[in-house]
Chains A and B, each alone.
Chain A
Amino acid sequence: TQLLEQSPQFLSIQEGENLTVYCNSSSVFSSLQWYRQEPGEGPVLLVTVVTGGEVKKLKRLTFQFGDARKDSSLHITAAQPGDTGLYLCAGATNTGNQFYFGTGTSLTVIP
């Protein structure tokens, strides 16, 4: 069961453009993580957000956790070809012991 819906599903943009990926759910999560995955490899953790309304920045990436801890967004400024990949959000249940992944956003940044 996919508890987390990501949008858009696919995104192709030119180098230098900005973009936002959304991760939405009707469920409340104790924490939410964002991952980036390249073909044939496992996901790599980018960030974990825990507090409602929390904003974290990682260089050109800005992550926000919704006030109600049901949704999150990832904003990339001045995208680069190296940002190309599959972006996944994952929410941890209140027990903290189980994670459910979003539907995924495949990003392609064209040089």
Chain B
Amino acid sequence: GAVVSQHPSRVICKSGTSVKIECRSLDFQATTMFWYRQFPKKSLMLMATSNEGSKATYEQGVEKDKFLINHASLTLSTLTVTSAHPEDSSFYICSANSVSSYNEQFFGPGTRLTVL
């Protein structure tokens, strides 16, 4: 199956700093990538849909100035959490859309963000 990587896997930062998370599709090109947020033992909440070369589409309630998404190439999307606060602590997961008849998506391993 297709492989998606995320970096870093864990990050701890001080309140007020910005954190960048990278999502890469390693063996396929992904015109669309998705960013999710997940709380412990809860489901994934879609934050935004990232399209290569265009602005991301954010879900209702997600601050686009807070969570900056850039999709500069067909294999890389980045999520930057700006001016992070403790309430931003969460598990962030990206996925990439594999262009097939079923539009299957493949997930990265996730990034655990802890804001002190």
Contact = CB atoms under 8 A, between A and B. Distances in A.
Interface string B59-90: 11000000000000000000000000000000
Contact of A48 (B32, B45, B104, B110): B104
Contacts of B104: 33, 45, 48
Contacts of A109: none
Contacts of B32: 97
A66 interface: no
B46 A43 contact: no
Interface in A85-109: 86, 88, 90, 92, 96-104, 106
Contact of A45 (B1, B6, B44): B1
A50 B41 CA distance: 27
Interface string B1-14: 10010100000000
A55 B77 CA distance: 35
Contact of B46 (A41, A100, A106): A100
Contact of B105 (A99, A102, A103, A104): A99
A88 to B, nearest CB: 6
28 contacts: A1-B59, A6-B43, A33-B105, A40-B91, A40-B112, A41-B109, A41-B110, A42-B6, A42-B95, A43-B44, A43-B107, A44-B107, A45-B1, A48-B102, A90-B105, A92-B102, A92-B103, A96-B103, A97-B49, A97-B97, A98-B46, A99-B46, A99-B105, A101-B36, A101-B44, A101-B46, A104-B41, A106-B41
